[in-house]
Each structure stands twice: as C-alpha cells, then as structure tokens.
Structure 1
Amino acid sequence: MLRIGVISDTHGLLRPEALDFLAGSDFIVHGGDIGNAGILSRLAAIAPLTVVRGNNDKGDWAAAVPASAVLEVGGMRLYALHDIADLDAAALPADVKVLVYGHSHRPLAEQRGPVLYLNPGSAGPRRFSLPITAAEVLVDAGQAKASIALLIPRG
C-alpha cells in the first residue's frame, strides 16, 4: 500500500503539524497557493513532490510550477490543479481516479462516479472559521481511498 500525503493552501506557512502528518508519505501532492519556494524544498525532502501553482503563487519561483499535474502511482492516475472552477471535465483523462484541488480552503473527499474528488483544505493560515487540515490517499492495487486529517483543533 502506498500513502500520498496531500496538502494545499499553505500560503507561506508550513506548520510543524503538517510536517508531522506528511512524514512517512511515499509521495506528496500540493494543491497550490504554496507561498514560496522554501515550502517546496521542505516538502521534497520528505517524499517525491507533485505540485501545482495557485492563484496567489507569483514571482520567478512560481513561474516554473505548472497549473496542473499528473501523478501516476500504484496503478492509478491522480490529476491536480488549484481551482476546480478551472477544470475542463471533458479534457480530464478517462483513467484519472483521483482529482486533487485546493483554493476554497474547504476540505472534501467525495466519490463522484469513477473519480474521487479531494480538497485537503488549508494547512496554512486559518481563514474565517475553516479548519486547518491535510489529507492522505491510500493506494492499493490501483484503488484509492482518501481521508481528511484535522491538524489543529478549532479554537
């Protein structure tokens, strides 16, 4: 079984709780609004990193970050982009099993037909009363299961 740690909307803040949660991941996916290149290097030190650029990712470091990315692992394909409103569902490869996105800061793991839609929420600065979360995808024999983890209790 493979574990993919999924994080998004760090906005320049990589909390120790997020690092602890991601430790032991076989792969990491960041759903955008990263904040700075230092976050990418810290995540890449944990596991192979797939990352997409968010609407707040600006500057030279962000120019090299793609708007969407594909991770093929464990017999399944994961597609990532930052804002689900930018998704052209007709262009989504038919064999995608997991769709990772961020932007809204609202965590969601929902099976829609053959595709698991996963927004890990925000692991960065708290926005309004939304929780501080990340997610994991467990991949076994080409099948994916996701869960959301509360990193910091509301308070």
Structure 2
Amino acid sequence: MQALLAQWTEWGAELARLPFSAALRGSAWAYPAVEIVHLAGMALLFGSIVVVDMRLAGLGRQLPVTLLLRHALPFSVAAFVAVVGSGALLFLAHADELAGNRAFLVKLCLIALALANVVWFHTGPYRSLRDAQRGWDVGTAPPAGARISAIVSLVVWSLVICAGRLIAYV
C-alpha cells in the first residue's frame, strides 16, 4: 500500500509540473473560474440528489417518483459531468499537494461509493420502477431497497462535501 501511495504521489508531482497545470495555477482568472464551476456544479448535483432521495426515502409522497426522476436525473448527470471535469482541472493544478492529501483520497473513495450506490439503485430498485405497470405512484412509499439507497446516497454525498472542504485543512 505504501508503494502504491508513493507512486500516486510521484505521479501527482509529474502532473503538477505540466505547463498546463502551471498555467492554470498562475492565471488570475482560470483557477477561480474552474473552482466556481466546481462549486456551482456540486450545488446543482447535491440539490437534485436531495430532492430525489427525500422522495425515495418516503417524504413528499404527493410527488410521482417517475415524473420527479424524469426531471431531476438530467440535471444530476449534467452537474456530475461539470463537477468531474472541473475537479480534474483543479486536481491538475495542485496534483503534487492533493495526491498525498488524506481528505482528498477519502473524497475519491466516497465518490466511488456513491457511484456504486447509483449503479446498484439503477440496476435494482429503479428497474422494478421501470418494469412496474404504474410505478411508485402518488401516496406510495418506494420499496425498502430504494429507501435504503436514498439514505446511503444522502449520507455519502454529504460526506463527499465535507471531505472536499477538509482538503484545505489536512
């Protein structure tokens, strides 16, 4: 594990030496603009996830799940793409520092866990929603698997935000 971490840190140092990375760090506008995209994307991602997860957890039963998902998922996907793209640029600018940052590494692990939860939801509980005649209609509680996935999602994405904020202090 130590050898892997050392290789990862060395790779981060190489990335930070790239001319593009130095230009991003040195620009008065580029790095702050990328950071704004990252924060705005995270706000949209988390906001859309919270709305859906609260319904899946059993709240807001007056909203039809299928309609809510149809409207929220495109926003979640677009925001995730913006967050990943801007996050990659932010990493490039400071790869030498971030590669060994424990909070950053925890954040990456939490994102992987959150994505695994998304895959599990879409291949499990969500499939039953798509296959059902009427879906999870107004007034209906989603199945236990969907509720558990929603709670896991809320907790893990909240921890992603916390880990991201802790990067500056660890």
Q: TM-score range by the shorter chain?
A: under 0.3
The higher relative CO (CA closer than 8 Å, separation ≥ 6) is in 2
Structure holding more strand per residue? 1
Q: So what's the TM-score if we normalise by structure 2?
A: 0.25
Structure holding more helix per residue? 2
